[in-house]
Structure 1
Amino acid sequence: MPTTLAQLLARPELALRLLTPTTADALDRAIPWVHSSELPDPTPFLSDGQVLLITGTPDEVDPYVSRLVAHGIAGLGFGTEVVRDGTPDALVDACIRHGLPLFEVPYRTPFIAIARFVADRAAADAYARSTWALRASRAISLAALRPDALGAVLAELARQLGHPVALVATSGAVDRVFPDHALDGAARDDLAAAAEPLLRARRRAGSTVVLSGRPFALQTLGAAGRLRGVLAVGGVDDLDQAAQQVVTGVVALGGLALEQSRATDAARARLRTAVWRALRGGDRELAADIAEPLFGPLPSGPVRIALLTGSAVEAAVERLELTPAPFFARDGDTIAFLLPVDAPPSDTVPLADLAARFDLRGGVSAPVLLPELPTGVGQASAARERATGDAPVRAFDDLASAGMLDLLQSGDARAVAAATVAPLFAADPTLPAALRVWLDHNGVYDVAARELGIHRHTLRARVTEAERLLTRDLSTFAARADLYAALRTI
C-alpha cells in the first residue's frame, strides 16, 4: 500500500514532529510523492496528494498555505536550523486555520531521506502489484485450459479480484455470474438494460453502472461488428493499474473463448436447420434420428408452426439457446418453431415478446400434424404477411375467422382498389358511398334507397352512371364482387 502521513510520522529514524491538530482521515491519506521547493508559489509543479518540504518562511504565509490546500497538498514539512531555528508561529497558525497538516523536520534528517522512504514504499507496492498481476494472469490462463474455458476464466477473475464478475450474452440476457449469488434478480435486469445499448451499437465500448449499490465496469467482448457479449466487473473504484491489466487480459481471453463457443453453437444451429429441412422434405425418420440425442424427441401430436423473420434473428436464436424452448431452427432469416398444441404454458415461447425485443415479424399456423407441415408453413407465412408493428405476431386462426376480404388489406390491394374507384371519386365524391350501401343490400334498390334517403329511380340512375364511368356491367355477380372488394379495401 502507498505511504500515509501517519506512517511517515511514525518512522523513528526520520524524527518528524507533527505541529498541528490533524484528523485521522488526513493522517491516513496516501502520499504518492514528496517534493521540496522554495518558490513563492510551487503549486504549478505539484500534484494532488503530495507532501511539500520547505526551509524558508513564505513572504505571505496565509495566502501561501491557502494555495497549497486548494491544490490538494496532503502535508507540509518545515526543515529547521537551515535558514532559521524552529518553525515560524505564523506558519503554524496558518496551517491550523486551513486544516493543513504541518510537521517539523529536524536538521539531522535530510529531505532526501523522506523522499526516499516514500519512493521505496511506492516501488515495493508497485513490485507487489506486478507480482500479483503475473500470478493472477497465470492462474486465469490455466483456467482457460479447462473444459468450460469461459466459465473457468470468469470464476478465476472474480476470485483474484475479490469482486463479482458477470457476462451478458449478445442476446441481452445475463449468461453467467460469479459468485453465483452475487446479483439478485433486479440487479440482473439492471445489468441487462445497461448492456443493451452497448450491444446494439455493435462496436467496442465501455461504461459503468451501479448494481446492488456497487459500481460495475462494462466492457464489450469481440471485435466491432462481431460483438460476443459484455463483461461486467464489480468494484471498479478499487481496481488499480495492475488489476486493470488483468481484466484487459480476460477481455481478450473471453473474446477467444466466446469465439470457440460460437463455433460449437454454429454446429448445433446447422443440425437444427438440417432437422427442419428434413421435416419440410418429408423425411421425418431422418429428422427424428438427428434431433433426439441433441434436442429431444420431436412432437408426436398436433403442432402449430411458428415463423419469425427479421434482421436480428441471430441475436434472437442466441437468446433462445439460453432458455428452455420447444424445437426451433434457423433457416436463412427465419426462425421456425414446432409448438406442441397440448404443451403447458411454461413450455411455450413468448413469441410476441421475442418479436418485440428483436424487431421481428411472425405468424402462427392452425394445429397440424408433422406430415402436414407444408400446410402449416403456408398458413404461418400467410399470417406473418399480416403482422404489423402493433401486432408483430399474427395467428392464422384470426385470419381465417376474418374472411377473405380481410386479406385485401395490403399495400398492393389498396393501390389497385384506389385506381379502380378513382373515376367514381372524380365524377362525384359521394358516389362510392352510395354504391357501397347498394351492394351491402345485395343490389336491392328499394332498401338501399330508403337508407340513403333518395328515390329508387335516383339510385338506379347513379348505378347506371357508375357503370358508364367504370365501363363494366354491374348486373353480373363478378363485377359487383370486384367493385365491392375495391370499396372495402380503400
Structure 2
Amino acid sequence: MTDPQPTLRALLARRDLDLRLASDEAALPADALDEPLRWVHSSDLIDPTPFLADDLLLLTTGTQFVGVEENAARYREYVDRLRARGVRGLGFGTEVVRDGIPAGLVDACREARMPLFEVPYRTPFIALARANAEAIAAQAYARRTWALAAQRAISLAALRPDGLGATVAELARQLDAWVGLYDATGRPTHAAPDPAPDGAIAEALAAEAGAVLRRGARAASTLEIAGHRVTLQTLGRGGHLRGLLAIVGAELDLEGRSVVTSVIAMAGLALEQNVGLGRARTALRAGLLHALLSDDPTLARRVSRELWGPLPAAPVTVAVATVPSTRSAAAVDWLELRAGERRGGLFFGRGGDGLVVVVPASDAETLPTFADLFDATVGAADPADYAVFSRAHEQALTALRRATPGTVARFADAAAGGVLAGLDSPAGRALADARLRPLRDHDAAHGTALVETVRTWLSHDARIDEAARALGIHRHTVRARIAQAQQLLAVDLTSFPARAELWAALVAAA
C-alpha cells in the first residue's frame, strides 16, 4: 500500500524542469530527498518563516542577499531559520538576480545538511508548484484507487466459507501488516500473516486487547508496543462488544483508515449475525438444562452429543454463576468457545438464577478462571451424578449466596458450618434482629446484660449454675434475668423449640 508521495527526488527526476542538485547527496540525511512535500512556495524575504508551513520546498532568487554576498553569517542564519521551520529543501533561481548560487549559501546549506538545488532561468517557479500539485493529485488518486480495489478484494474474501479468517488475511495483505482478530474475551481467533509478532509483542498486545474489552466501551486507539505502531479498534456496540481488531506495523492514512473501517463494519456485522445463532443455542441449552433438572439426563445426552459432544462424564460439579450485565455476552462467548475446545469437558445453560455450568469433578481450573475473567460470583456443589442433578443445583445456589464477585464458593465449605450457617443471609439477619430487639432495647435503656446472659445460658445447655460461673455472677441473678427475658420475648424458655429458635437468632445476629 506504499505509493510514492510527492518528493524532492521526484521533482529532480523530471527532465522538463531541468533542476540540478547543488548539494552532495551523500552528505545529506538518508531520507532528505524522499520526505513528502506538502507544497512549493517562493519568497525573497530574509526571514520568510512566519509565512511558511511545515514540509514545503522554498524557492528564492536571492534578492535578499544582494550587497551581503561575503557575509557568511547572514547565509547561516537564513538557512538555520528555514531548517528550524521544517523546510524540506531550498531551490535557487539563477540568472534572475545573479549567475549561479552564492558560495556562502552553498556552504550554509552543506553545514545545515539542507538540500539545495538550482532552478534554471527557463524554468519558472510556478512550474515546480504545478508539478508538485500534480504529483499530490496523482498520489491521492492512486490512493483512492487502491482503497476501492482493496475494499473490493476484502468484500470478495468475506464471501468465502471462512469469511472472517479470509477477511483478516486479505486486510493484512493489502496493508502489508500483521492483523489479528480477538473475540470478546480477548482471545485471538484469526491472524495473518505468519509468523505472528514475537512473544513479547504478542503478550503485550493480548494484555492491551483484554483491558480494552473489559472496559466494555467502544474505542479506537493507536499506541506503540516494543517499537511497533499498533492500531486497536473494538467491534460491536458499547456494553456489548463482540471483539477487537489489531493492526501491527501499518501507518494508516485516510484511505487506509477507510479500508480498515470497511473491515470493521463487515466483521462487526458477521459477529452480530452470530448473535442470532447464539440466542438459538442459548434457548436450546436452557431447554436441556430444564431436562437435567428433572434428574433424567437422557434427552440432554442425546441432543448434546449431536451438537456439542457428550455431556461431561459423571461425577460432575454443578455450579451457578452470576455475571455483571456488561460482561454477560463475553462470558457466554467464552463458555461457548471452551465447550467447543473441550468436547465432553463442559456444558452450560442459562437458568432462572444465573448461568449453570457443569464440568467434570476433576476439573479444578475452569470455574476459578471463569470467575476471575468476568468478575463472576460462582457457587459450586459437591460432586454428583446426573440422577441427583436437581439436588446438586440446590447446593450450588446455597453456595452462591455465600460467594463474592470474582470467587468460587463451595457447598462443602458452607456445609462445614452446619445447618445454622445457612442463617447467614440478609433475610436471616433481619429476622434475628427483630427477634432480639426487645432484649437489646432493654439492655440499652437500663444497662442490663440480658442478651449476653441468655447467650451464655443457652451455650451451657440452659444450666443456671454453669452460666453463673461463666458470667461471674450469682445464680439467682441469672435466673432473674432469664425470667425477665421470657417476659420481654413472650415465650416459655423451658420449651426446647423456643430455646432453639432463640439460639438460632443469636447465631444469625452474631
Distance 1:282 1:471 in 2: 45
Conserved? CA contact 1:80–1:104, under 8 Å: yes
- Structure-2 change in CA distance of 1:176 and 1:74 (3 Å): same
Distance 1:12 1:292 in 2: 75
2:228 corresponds to 1:206? no
Q: Give the structure 2 partner of residue 483 of structure 1.
A: 502
Conserved? CA contact 1:177–1:183, under 8 Å: no
SS at match of 1:177: strand
SS at match of 1:27: coil
TM-score relative to the length of structure 2: 0.85
Q: Give the structure 2 partner of residue 108 of structure 1.
A: 122
Q: Give the structure 1 partner of residue 70 of structure 2.
A: none
Distance 1:314 1:332 in 2: 17
Superposition pairs for residues 258-297 of structure 1, below 5 Å?
Answer: 258-281=271-294, 284-297=297-310
Distance 2:312 2:262 in 1: 46
Q: Report Cα offsets for 1:69-116 as digits up to 9, x if no partner.
A: 222011111112212333345544544554433323221332233334
- Structure-2 change in CA distance of 1:408 and 1:331 (3 Å): closer
Alpha-carbon offset, residue 308 of structure 1: 0.9
Distance 2:353 2:170 in 1: 38
Distance 2:34 2:304 in 1: 65
Superposition pairs for residues 99-248 of structure 1, below 5 Å?
Answer: 99-183=113-197, 187-211=201-225, 213-236=227-250, 238-248=251-261
Conserved? CA contact 2:240–2:329, under 8 Å: no
2:381 corresponds to 1:377? no
Q: Give the structure 2 partner of residue 364 of structure 1.
A: 380
Distance 1:233 1:454 in 2: 79
Instruction: Give the aligned residue type for 2:291.
Output: A
Q: Give the structure 2 partner of residue 412 of structure 1.
A: 427
2:478 corresponds to 1:474? no
Distance 1:383 1:61 in 2: 84
Among all aligned residue pairs of Structure 1 and Structure 2, give the percentage whose two residues are the same amino acid.
49
Q: Report Cα offsets for 1:233-256 as digits up to 9, x if no partner.
A: 1113x2333322221211111112
- Structure-2 change in CA distance of 1:361 and 1:23 (3 Å): closer
- Structure-2 change in CA distance of 1:366 and 1:152 (3 Å): same
Q: Give the structure 2 partner of residue 308 of structure 1.
A: 321
Conserved? CA contact 2:242–2:330, under 8 Å: no
SS at match of 1:58: helix
Give the gaps of 5 or more residues in structure 1. Answer: none
Q: Give the structure 2 partner of residue 400 of structure 1.
A: 415
Distance 1:25 1:313 in 2: 51
Distance 1:283 1:466 in 2: 52
Q: Give the structure 2 partner of residue 18 of structure 1.
A: 22
Distance 1:467 1:240 in 2: 84
Distance 2:508 2:287 in 1: 41
Conserved? CA contact 1:194–1:209, under 8 Å: no
Alpha-carbon offset, residue 7 of structure 1: 4.7
- Structure-2 change in CA distance of 1:213 and 1:79 (3 Å): closer
Match of 2:61 among 55, 58, 61: 55
Distance 2:284 2:56 in 1: 64
- Structure-2 change in CA distance of 1:254 and 1:156 (3 Å): same
Distance 1:180 1:278 in 2: 45
Instruction: Give the aligned residue type for 1:53.
Output: L
Conserved? CA contact 1:170–1:318, under 8 Å: yes
Distance 2:10 2:147 in 1: 26
Distance 2:36 2:329 in 1: 50
Conserved? CA contact 1:330–1:336, under 8 Å: yes
Distance 2:308 2:209 in 1: 30
Distance 1:208 1:126 in 2: 23
Which piece of structure 1 moves more, 247-256 or 14-23?
14-23
Q: Give the structure 2 partner of residue 322 of structure 1.
A: 337
2:344 corresponds to 1:340? no
Distance 2:494 2:448 in 1: 22
Instruction: Give the aligned residue type for 2:187.
Output: A
Superposition pairs for residues 418-433 of structure 1, below 5 Å?
Answer: 418-426=433-441, 427=443, 428=447, 430-433=449-452
Output the aligned Cα RMSD.
2.8
Conserved? CA contact 1:183–1:212, under 8 Å: no
Q: Give the structure 2 partner of residue 68 of structure 1.
A: 82
Alpha-carbon offset, residue 386 of structure 1: 1.8
2:287 corresponds to 1:256? no
SS at match of 1:24: coil
- Structure-2 change in CA distance of 1:260 and 1:279 (3 Å): same
SS at match of 2:218: coil
Alpha-carbon offset, residue 371 of structure 1: 2.7
SS at match of 2:245: strand
Conserved? CA contact 1:191–1:209, under 8 Å: no
Distance 1:150 1:333 in 2: 35
Instruction: Give the aligned residue type for 1:254.
Output: A
